[in-house]
């Protein structure tokens, strides 16, 4: 049950009052929370750690710039809400909460860990399809039951069986829904097609544009063997396809600056008439990470200095 992470430094901090408390000493305890999906910080982590003694808590470590995170997080939220209070989802922005990121040893994201009775249980790293999430959560509930954590929670005192209806999100546009279904099925080509059709209908659909960039990255990374890709890139620093592949792996794994530096070095090393594809890939990755991200801003300045 101790898993592969060490939360002792966080566990020993003074804890804030838990968001819910057992309603009774006998039987399955009940608790109340503001929502089944909670945003957690370094300062409030003690609350969910204590809550995990009543109900398993799934911790989603994510970041705004992380494309795979944006694919996985809605799936986690959907499945947790459908379970009606048997699980709680705690979302941790690793950029804003470095102590938690360090405590969970989050070397790549998305990373999903559970807390059961105050103990960490590693679940998986990377974006996974909805069916796999469901299977892992079912196993988690079994592990929790074996360790005496069998409670449920309600949202603001409501019935846990109906709590998820309070957080139902608006229905996705049809083409976006088609893309999500395709992603969950691992059919990235169909997801790309759906997002492209959405953009054809509405060129200002920024959600579709972001989704298209993310799913193209997932499709490229899916076909890669990381060890072979890195070996090929190391063997030939001017091999554009090899450098693109490693940059994709770095972006997917959360190593954004490494990806940008790799492609900027490649851009600088190539003849002027061969630089176009590298510039295009950099611009694609800039859009994927987010134009306001400080790492993107720094890389854009470096690219501009190389261009002019």
- Tens of pLDDT, residues 122-149: 898 888 888 888 888 988 988 888 888 8
Q: What's the chain's average pLDDT?
A: 82
Highest mean pLDDT among 135-144, 222-231, 244-253, 256-265: 256-265
CATH topology of 8-167 equal to that of 174-307? no
d(CA 283, CA 205): 18
Number of Cβ within 10 Å of residue 60's Cβ equals: 23
Q: Which CATH number fits domain 8-167: 3.40.30.10, 3.40.50.261, 3.30.300.30, 3.30.390.10?
A: 3.40.30.10
Query: What is the structure's pLDDT at 169?
Result: 54
Instruction: Assess whether 69 carries a catalytic annotation.
Output: yes
Q: How many residues does the chain have?
A: 308
Q: How confident is the model at residue 88 (pLDDT cuts 50, 70, 90)?
A: very high
Query: What is the structure's pLDDT at 158?
Result: 52
Highest mean pLDDT among 27-36, 77-86, 101-110: 77-86
Query: What is the structure's pLDDT at 11?
Result: 42
Give residue-wise pLDDT tens across range 151-183.
888 886 554 444 444 445 566 789 988 988 888
Q: Is the pLDDT of residue 299 over 50?
A: yes
Residues 73, 43 contacting (CB under 8 angstroms): no
Give residue-wise pLDDT tens across range 186-195.
888 899 999 9
CB-based burial, 191-208: b 16+ in 10 Å, e otherwise: bbbbbeebbeeeeebeeb
Instruction: Assess whether 116 carries a catalytic annotation.
Output: no
Catalytic residue among 7, 69, 127, 249: 69
Helix/strand/coil for 100: helix
- Residue 125 phi/psi, 5-degree rounding, is -125, 140
Query: What is the structure's pLDDT at 271?
Result: 93
Between residues 25 and 101, which one has the greater pLDDT?
Answer: 101
Q: Is the pLDDT of residue 245 over 80?
A: yes
Catalytic residue among 66, 198, 221, 242: 66
Counting beta carbons within 10 angstroms of the beta carbon of residue 158, is it exposed (0 to 12), middle (13 to 18) or buried (19 or more)?
Answer: middle
Residues 38, 156 contacting (CB under 8 angstroms): no
For the chain, the domains span: 8-167, 174-307
112 Cβ partners below 8 Å, 6+ apart? 58, 59, 60, 61, 72, 76, 123, 124, 125
Q: How far, in whole angstroms, is CA 151 from its chain's centroid?
A: 26
Query: What is the structure's pLDDT at 166?
Result: 46
Q: Is the pLDDT of residue 42 over 90?
A: no
Q: Which fold has domain 174-307?
A: 1.25.40
Q: What is the pTM of this model?
A: 0.50
Tokens 């544009």 belong to 209
């Amino acid at each position: 049950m101790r898993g592969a992470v060490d939360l002792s430094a966080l566990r020993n901090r003074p804890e804030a009052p838990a968001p819910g408390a057992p309603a009774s000493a006998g039987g399955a305890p009940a608790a109340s929370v503001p929502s089944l999906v909670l945003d957690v910080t370094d300062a409030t982590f003690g609350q969910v750690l204590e809550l995990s003694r009543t109900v398993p808590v799934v911790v989603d470590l994510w970041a705004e710039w992380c494309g795979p995170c944006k694919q996985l997080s809605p799936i986690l939220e959907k499945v947790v809400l459908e379970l009606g209070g048997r699980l709680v989802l705690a979302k941790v922005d690793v950029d804003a909460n470095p102590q938690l990121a360090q405590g969970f040893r989050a070397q790549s994201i998305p990373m999903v860990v559970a807390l059961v009775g105050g103990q960490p249980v590693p679940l998986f790293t990377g974006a996974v399809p909805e069916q796999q999430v469901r299977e892992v959560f079912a196993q988690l509930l079994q592990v929790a039951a074996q360790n005496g954590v069998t409670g449920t929670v309600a949202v603001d005192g409501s019935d846990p069986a109906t709590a998820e209806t309070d957080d139902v999100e608006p229905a996705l546009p049809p083409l976006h829904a088609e893309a999500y279904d395709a992603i969950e099925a691992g059919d990235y080509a169909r997801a790309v097609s759906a997002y492209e059709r959405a953009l054809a209908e509405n060129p200002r659909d920024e959600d579709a544009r972001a989704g298209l960039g993310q799913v193209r990255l997932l499709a490229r990374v899916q076909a890669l063997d990381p060890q072979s890709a890195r070996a090929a890139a190391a063997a030939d620093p001017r091999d554009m396809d090899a450098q693109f592949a490693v940059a994709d792996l770095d972006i997917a794994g959360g190593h954004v600056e490494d990806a940008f530096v790799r492609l900027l070095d490649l851009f600088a090393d190539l003849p002027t008439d061969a630089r176009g594809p590298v510039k295009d890939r950099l611009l694609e990755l800039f859009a994927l990470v987010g134009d306001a991200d400080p790492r993107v801003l720094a890389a854009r300045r470096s690219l501009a200095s190389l261009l002019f």
